[in-house]
Amino acid sequence: MKRILTGITPSGYPHLGNYIGAIKPSLDLLDEKCESFLFIADHHALIKVWDPKKLKELTHQVAMAWLASGLDPSKTFFYRQSDIPEITELAWILSCVTEKGLLNRAHAYKAAIDINKESGKKDMEEGISLGLFSYPLLMACDILCPNATHVPVGKDQQQHLEMTRDIAHKFNNRYGEAFNLPKAVIADEKTVLGIDGRKMSKSYNNIIPLLGSEKDLKKSVMRIVTNSQEPGVRKEWKDNVLFSIYSAFANESSLSEMKQKFEDGIGWGDAKTIVFEELNELIAPIRENFEKQKGELKYIEDVLQQNARKVRETTKPLLEKVKSLVGIGSF
């Protein structure tokens, strides 16, 4: 049986990019022919989120985003990363078979080095934590600890899955078979642009909120960057930020109509109103569910704890097998 794994890091408030890129695809993959492991990567968030109250709030928001989007926790494994201690214990064991050179090639680490170079710092590794450096190793353990067989990834995450396969293969060769070699599930990826034209990201402060009010949603859409073309002037829909954001969630019929409106010279205000109204129609049920459940902290905690117990029925035996293979544990 396929075992599919997806995670979201609670490093910012849930946004449209999270929904289109992770939440909705994970819900679409749910069926009786596979097991789905969906988790909140709060350990990963420690790399960027240093305020403990903020981290708890963001973790709650991500949990609510999934539940409000229609996730039935009784039909999947929905859990918080930090509730599965086997993941971090496995991380130490696998760090002993993972070469530093492999992690040196990680995109996030290399990007941090480049930033230091561009800013003229003498120490190229200044400000780079061990957590950031070893991030791909912990991600590998997220995948390998429940022994996932398939992982939905975007193009920017393919490297991490390749690293995971390398680490698992090396362990299996050295000690014996313990891990599946997970396969990438590369869907027809939709990169959701932010309101400034860059990839939608908490880091860029360019998000369209998923759980905010209707007023907040409209405000975000109206701030999407456009040019100064007047109404009546033909608009180019290719490489247009507003059209790109619209294409991330609109159906083919709506896209064809919008293309024609661009050709006919629709005003930017009118175009943004259409985008807002259709996006609001998509998000309204999620917002309504969120408003109903956001105060039910005990319910959410119970869901996460119950699911963590289910997950550990898989991760505990796997870790015991790994420890036995490497020679750790009782005589």
Active site residues: 117, 199, 202
Residue 50 CA to its chain's centroid (Å): 19
Closest among 18, 23, 61 to 42, alpha carbons compared: 61
Strand partners, 34: 2
**Residue 271 is inside which H or E element, if any?**
helix 268-293
Residue 193 in 3-state DSSP? strand
**Residue 6 is inside which H or E element, if any?**
strand 2-8
The structure tokens 């083919």 sit at 252
| 197 close to 242: Cβ distance less than 8 angstroms | no
Q: What are the structure tokens assigned to 227, written together? A: 């040019």
Is the CA virtual torsion 145, 148, 154, 156 positive or negative? positive
Residue 16 in 3-state DSSP? helix
Residue 196 φ/ψ, nearest 5 degrees: -100, 0
| Strands of 183-185's sheet in order across | 77-80, 34-40, 2-8, 150-152, 183-185
